[in-house]
Structure 1
Amino acid sequence: MADLSQQEWEEQLEKDDNAFILDVRTPEEVEEGYIPNSTNIDIYLGHDFLTEVEKLDKTKNFYVYCRSGNRSGQACAIMNSIGFENTYNLVGGFMNWEGEVAE
């Protein structure tokens, strides 16, 4: 897992042809807006979060975010523990995101 600043995350994501953007926030938080092309799997689902994450392609590079960067850090650690090699946590999370936002 790598913690990336907002700028590093955005720059790296732009150049990455193998990127998968994962939003681990709650559905209520997602309603407030989200990073375009992201997939939402709520980390608070517990075991169901793990079940859903297991279905993802482990060869992808995962750019993970939440509201502040805490839950996404936990999600990256969980993902690394089950065989995901490339996970990138967005430091500061969505609340500090200055890039494009979809509604």
Structure 2
Amino acid sequence: MADLSQHEWITKLEADNNAVVLDVRTPEEVAEGIIPNAIHIDIFKGQGFIDEVQQLDKTKTYFVYCKAGGRSGQACGVMNQLGFNKTYNLLGGFSEWEGEVSSL
């Protein structure tokens, strides 16, 4: 796992054609908007989060975010323990996101 600034996160994301953006916020937070093309798995689902994450392709690169960067850092740690080798945490999270936003 690596913690990346928004600029670093976007640069790596755009350069990786094997990338997945993962939003780990709550459904209420997601209702405020989502980074385009992100998939949503709420980290507060506990075992449900682990179950859903284990269904993802471990060969892909995951760009993970939450509201401020704490939960997404935890999610990256869990994913690394589950065998995901490339996870990137967005420092500052969605609350500091300056890029495009879409709705689910």
Same fold (TM over 0.5): yes
Asked if 1:3 corresponds to 2:20, the answer is: no
Q: Distance in 1 between matches of 2:71 and 2:34?
A: 16
Letter in 2 for 1:96: E
Q: How does 1:1-103 map to 2 (within 5 A)?
A: 1-103=1-103
Structure 2 residue matching 1:49: 3-state secondary structure = helix
Return the letter of the residue paired with 1:22.
L
SS at 1:52 equivalent:
helix
TM-score, normalising length: structure 2? 0.98
Query: Gaps spanning 5+ residues in structure 2: where?
Result: none
1:2-30 C-alpha deviation (Å, 9 max, x unpaired): 00001100111111100000000000000
Q: Secondary structure at the match of 1:58?
A: coil
> Structure 1 runs of 4+ off > 3 angstroms?
none
Structure 1 unaligned blocks of 5 or more: none
* Identity among equivalent pairs (%): 63
RMSD of aligned C-alpha atoms? Answer: 0.4
CA distance, structure 2, for counterparts of residue 98 and residue 16 of structure 1 = 20
For these two proteins, the number of residue pairs brought into alignment is 103
What is the CA–CA distance in structure 2 between the aligned matches of 1:16 and 1:95, rounded to whole Å? Answer: 24
Aligned residue for 1:74, secondary structure, equals: helix
Q: Distance in 1 between matches of 2:82 and 2:14?
A: 26
